Amino acid sequence: MSVIYYKTKKTSEIGKKFAELWEKGEQADEAGRALAKKYNAESFVTKGGVAFGGIYGFSFQERPNSKIWKKLGGCADFFTPKVSTKEGRNIDNEMSAIPTIRRDDFSDLLPEKPPVYGQMGVVVCETYVYVGVLKEWKIKLPEEFTEIAESEWEKAAEGRMNV
């Protein structure tokens, strides 16, 4: 499958929308890391289709208290709070309070949606917003986007989160 890469300035109309959503996502992930730290977890896992936030469970260096935590099905070494306990419900409420930014939310910013919803690549840097879409999708991006070489995408994405 062939990918076409594009960029637009963060100051463009569509660039501002991508950058704003990206910023909200980074804040959600920061809140997730803080919550993980609060409960002595090493990391968190997100729900399917989620770009930022949307905490589904936590991983711990040592097995957590089984009165509060249960093994998360389908995710080796991850645990989720037991909502049958007061402590578990409180943790679950804290998890739910963290915003969820779905991959689809980025696709929703475009006038024409990818057929494989939410699966385009996005990277937001200091000056530009980069987007990668499959050539087979034959979608037209807004005029603010300029096609770029794969090498420019790779340089922009290097060491950065790519959703």
H or E element that contains 19: helix 13-38
Last residue of a domain, one of 100, 117, 138: 100
Beta bridge partners of 4: 133
> β-strand 55-59 against 78-81: which pairing, if any?
antiparallel
> Cα(52)–Cα(152) distance, rounded to whole angstroms?
24
Residue 98 has pLDDT above 90, yes or no: yes
The pTM of the full predicted model, rounded to 2 decimals, is 0.87
In a domain? residue 107: yes
> Residue 163: inside a domain, yes or no?
no
**42-97 confidence digits (pLDDT tens):** 999 988 889 999 999 999 999 999 999 999 887 778 999 999 999 999 999 999 99
- Any domain includes 162: no
Please give the C-alpha separations between residue 47 and each of 6, 53, 115, 161, in angstroms, as whole numbers: 28, 9, 21, 17
What is the per-residue pLDDT for 163?
64
The answer on 117 and 143 residing in a single domain is yes
Strands, E assignment, 103-144: 121-124, 128-134
Query: Between vectors from CA 122 to CA 128 and to CA 59, what angle results, nearest 5°?
Result: 125
Structural domains in the chain (count)? 2
Asked whether residue 50 is domain-assigned, the answer is yes
Chain segment 129-149, per-residue pLDDT in tens: 999 998 888 888 999 999 999
| 124 in the same domain as 150 | yes
CA dist., res. 111 & res. 57, Å (int): 34
Coil, strand or helix at 134: strand
Tell me the residue range of the domain where 40 lies.
29-100
